[in-house]
Amino acid sequence: MLTSKLEVLVDFGPKVDAQVLDKTLNELKSHDGVKEAVFKDGAIMVDTSLPSSRVLEMVMNTSGKRAVLQGFGETQSAVAMISSQACCNSRVLGVIRFQQSTEGPLVADGSIDGLPSGLHGLHVHDTGDLSQGCGSIGSHYNPHGSSHGAPSDPPHCRHAGDLGNIVADEAGRATFRIVDDVLKVWDIVGRSVAVTERRDDLGRGVSPSSKEDGDSGSPIACGIIARSAGIFQNPKRICACDGVVVWDEKDRPLAGKGRRVEDREQKRCCQKETEEDHMRPCCKV
């Protein structure tokens, strides 16, 4: 089973409680899908085939401490912050991380909240243009000029960006880990990834759009794919863009309402937009 290495920061405080640390490491090692769990350079390093969000939940539930994913993968990595791109009523939010494994396949590891329950298509698109939200990200990434298909199909029978379906539970959360043999991290940085309103029929349907997009409908959330840090490559504990420290960031949304003190000004702007039906610059997230 292909595994990924995760660097998990845990808010142990000024001094690590050895008993809590041992309990957390032993809990992780007891789960199928966890190959290794060790404490190294102030963080827990986990070698696992499980989705990173599941690992974080295990760490937090066992230790009783806050935890964040600081690094993902030993080799080239990328990340996309997913949202529905709406100004004031953005409901879909999530993160998808990509890792180029040394064995060859790409791993797409994600957790997305706010989705309608059920199946939703997941695709990498041509461009990272969000000037018109998810309406300007182009078609599926398709360097081979193929028709739409399933992730299990050979390259000439699928778009390179076809990653199949993810499943949202009744609470609207989709947690997934996809291993793909066609995509490469260096080919998708600067492009975008999107989640669609309906399930992807994988090119097997009777609809005219089946061979174009799996009859999966329009994207309901998307984000630009950017380079990111692998394990032990990011020593930062504060976001320079908005001054939010790593533990504060854990309890705040990725963007929008509640992110910064200035959100009060954004709220007034959004209220004005609702009244005038016109988007203001300070209202974008």
Domain at 22, CATH number: 3.30.70.100
3-state secondary structure 161-173: CEEEEEEECCCCC
Residue 235, pLDDT > 70, answer no
Beta-carbon contacts of 277 under 8 Å, excluding residues fewer than 6 positions away, are none
Q: Do 216 and 236 sit in the same domain of this protein? A: no
- Region of residue 264 (phi > 0: left; psi between -120 and 50: alpha; otherwise: beta): alpha
CA geometry: angle 41, 43, 44, nearest 5 deg: 120
Q: How far apart are CA 280 and CA 100, in angstroms?
A: 39
CATH of the domain at 200: 2.60.40.200
Structure tokens at 146: 């193929």
What pTM does this model have? 0.81
Q: What is the mean pLDDT of residues 113-138?
A: 96
DSSP state of 190: T
Q: Do 5 and 136 sit in the same domain of this protein? A: no
How many structural domains are present in the chain?
A: 2
Q: What is the pLDDT of residues 86-120, one digit of tens each?
A: 654 558 999 999 999 888 899 999 999 999 999 99
Q: Do 193 and 246 sit in the same domain of this protein? A: no
Q: Do 123 and 246 sit in the same domain of this protein? A: no
DSSP state of 3: -
Q: Do 38 and 108 sit in the same domain of this protein? A: no
Q: Do 89 and 133 sit in the same domain of this protein? A: yes
3-state SS, residue 229: coil
Instruction: Note whether residue 35 is domain-resident.
Output: yes
Domain containing residue 102: 77-227
Structure tokens at 254: 């990725």
Q: Do 111 and 211 sit in the same domain of this protein? A: yes
pLDDT higher for 34 or 237?
A: 34
Q: What is the mean pLDDT of residues 135-145?
A: 96
pLDDT for 265 equals 45
* Range of weakest confidence among 48-52, 68-72, 133-137, 169-173: 68-72
Show the beta-strand stretches assigned E in 76-208: 77-83, 93-100, 106-113, 118-125, 131-134, 162-168, 174-180, 192-196
Q: Which helix (H) or strand (E) holds 59?
A: helix 52-63
